[in-house]
Amino acid sequence: MEISAGTGIDRIVILVYFALVMGFGAYFGRYSKSTSDYFFGGRRFSWWLITISIVATGIGSHSFVKYSTKAYQYGFSSTMTYMNDWFFMPLFMFGWLPIIYYTKVRSIPEYFEKRFNKTARYLATTMTLLYMIGYIAIQLLTLATALYRIYNIPLMATVIIIAIATTIYMHFGGQTSVIFTDLFQGLILLFAGLLLFVLGLQYIGEGQFSTGLSSFWSYLTPEEKLPLAHFNSPPNFNFVGIFWQDGIAGSIGFLFLNQGLIMRFMAAKNVNEGRKAAAFNVLLILPISAIVVSNAGWIGRAIANGMPGILPAGLQPNDVFVAVTNIVASPGVFGFIIAALCAALMSTADTLVNASSAIVVNDIYRPLMKKEQSEKKQLEVARYASIGIKVIGVLLVPFFNSFESIYEAHGWFHSTFTPPLVVAVFLGIFWKRFTTPAVIATFTVGAFLMILGQFKHELIAPFSHGIELRPGKGYSYIGALYNIFVCASVGVIVSLLTKPPSKDKVDGLTVYDVSKLKASFKGGKVNDAKGKTVIVDWEISDIGDDSIRFSKNDMLKMKAEVGDLVYLCDNRKWLGGLKSIHSVYGEPHDTDGVVMITKNQQQSGLFDQNRKLFGEKEM
């Protein structure tokens, strides 16, 4: 079926949107002054800002197409993958998050070197980069597939234009730009997706929302209303396979290995804010996101069931998102919703590019350079790395375009690159006995056994849970269970056969030491006494060190002592911590309501004249 190319108004709306986002990103580029700012946003943001920017990262442009397709075919069970992420939250919030935050690792591969050795780091670097660059290519391909129909520009030319547009604000902005553009785009995404649902219900109810809602419900069959798919059939969409591929491998991969997501949490002002962002995201935002990405398919299914003749008889499920949007949205609104698709691509791609350039700088450039390089030089490398990564991503697009569908390309990708990393990081964090030879074997022998399973389907058969083997295609999702099993088995067996790591080697790098990490982060005894925050004016006072000084009374209110860690932030809460710094308490003075800071701290925190700050003790 040929999809409508939209109108002139739609094209203008999309172009205006691109221009707006590039301007927004470039503006926030001025907040990136060091590699810490560029990659981690200076570890200063509030939980709500992190939450919304995670939304934009989690919903890729492929999400709308992929989930609408499944929603059209199978109904509400399209939401399964958005509703199965809570099982690993205890380990993430109280295990992995404090480890990465307090040990100050800059990348997942760096953790592998600390926990194991350099070889483990290189293997992890290679696999992580391959995974992320491939993911970028898939994002570019999905959006280009939608846009080239609207603008009638060849597919590869559209890919290149999108890559250039997203590179502009990334190149100058870094993580701060990513977070703020993703805040904007995350809100647009949620709004556009919910708007489409409302328009769809109004369409079904012939202008009446409440009538549309009851008709929508009555048009769906009981099977289409079930939230979970059939246990083990059909082979290309069944509960148990998707549970292992997404609920287990995908959830661990997303929470523990997605460098982009990890960097978001490291941009939080403290670990507790990171926990709040994670909990709020999974409890509230993910269910809403499930509706946002699936509803076009549900509306399409209800129309097909209850209003025959409106959707073309030969409609391909992959086209349902654009087809439904076309029917229910007027000119301009269609453009706005396609712009939301652009938002999904740009926000996911920028995170992945920023994360990949962090890995290039931290895991390739720094280790290769014998001497410590200046911040300026590292920033330059990071910026050019982000361009290089986009170029490789563009070059990979034709490879992914050769798959039968984007869904299949994405599935192949997940099942190939995630399991060894998932097993390695998981055993590394939660099993002290896991050894360096074992992690190397997990990456190499485990990967070999996984590839073997791709050719010898009888190896996967014992794990199939009764799922039918598709001739010529093998097992799809349930292969993840086999892959996890072989990688974990290799890791456990080799660990038991080799010498355990010394206590010093794993100190502070496993969940068993989390309670001690705060003290090591601070560099001294933790002061956990609960104090109040204080609102203060600021004055410049260059005293020769990096401490900041409050009055004795203000320190008493905060229950702070000299040497404790402090967070100082612009008092306008809606800025989400954009203008803030971390420091340590210096010797107190006698003027209440005033904090003394250095010129450098004022510049780093971008504190405005005559604007009050609030100070709070961190630990």
Q: Rounded to a whole number, what is the largest CA-CA distance in the chain?
A: 80
> Applying CB under 8 A, does 203 fall inside the site for another protein?
no
Rounded Cα gap, residues 452 and 107, in angstroms: 30
**CB 56 to another protein: min, Å:** 22
User: How many Cα neighbours within 13 Å face the side chain of 86?
Assistant: 10
Q: For strand 594-597 and strand 534-540, is the pairing parallel, antiparallel, or unpaired?
A: parallel
**CB 93 to another protein: min, Å:** 7
User: How many Cα neighbours within 13 Å face the side chain of 402?
Assistant: 4
Residue of 3, 9, 26, 91 that binds another protein (CB under 8 A):
91
> Applying CB under 8 A, does 511 fall inside the site for another protein?
yes
Rounded Cα gap, residues 436 and 122, in angstroms: 13
Residue of 95, 186, 250, 260 that binds another protein (CB under 8 A):
95
Residue of 239, 434, 475, 585 that binds another protein (CB under 8 A):
239
Residue among 330, 269, 299 nearest 533 (CA): 269
> Applying CB under 8 A, does 285 fall inside the site for another protein?
no
> Applying CB under 8 A, does 514 fall inside the site for another protein?
yes
In the complex with another protein, the residue whose CB is nearer, 171 or 275, is 275
Phi/psi of residue 597, each to 5°? -130, 165
Rounded Cα gap, residues 254 and 422, in angstroms: 9
Rounded Cα gap, residues 70 and 75, in angstroms: 7
In the complex with another protein, the residue whose CB is nearer, 24 or 280, is 280
Residue of 134, 173, 212, 247 that binds another protein (CB under 8 A):
247
> Applying CB under 8 A, does 76 fall inside the site for another protein?
yes
Site for another protein in 329-388 (CB under 8 A): none
> Applying CB under 8 A, does 248 fall inside the site for another protein?
yes
Rounded Cα gap, residues 147 and 162, in angstroms: 10
Asked if 49 and 183 touch (Cβ cutoff 8 Å), the reply is yes
**CB 286 to another protein: min, Å:** 10
Residue among 452, 429, 449, 433 nearest 441 (CA): 449
> Applying CB under 8 A, does 428 fall inside the site for another protein?
no
**CB 467 to another protein: min, Å:** 12
Residue among 504, 505, 454 nearest 483 (CA): 454
Candidates 37-45, 236-244, 417-425, 541-549; binding stretch for another protein (CB under 8 A)? 236-244
Candidates 82-90, 394-402, 454-462, 471-479; binding stretch for another protein (CB under 8 A)? 82-90
Asked if 543 and 462 touch (Cβ cutoff 8 Å), the reply is no
Residue among 84, 53, 281, 68 nearest 189 (CA): 53
3-state secondary structure of 241: helix
User: Which residues lie across from 551 on neighbouring strands?
Assistant: 589
Candidates 157-165, 230-238, 256-264, 439-447; binding stretch for another protein (CB under 8 A)? 230-238
In the complex with another protein, the residue whose CB is nearer, 94 or 172, is 94
Residue of 20, 89, 304, 392 that binds another protein (CB under 8 A):
89
* Identity of the amino acid at 364: I
Residue of 90, 207, 314, 471 that binds another protein (CB under 8 A):
90
Residue of 15, 87, 473, 587 that binds another protein (CB under 8 A):
87
Which residues of this protein are in contact with another protein, per CB under 8 A? 76, 83-84, 86-91, 93-95, 98, 222-223, 225-232, 239-240, 243, 247-248, 272, 275, 279, 282-283, 287, 430, 511-512, 514-515
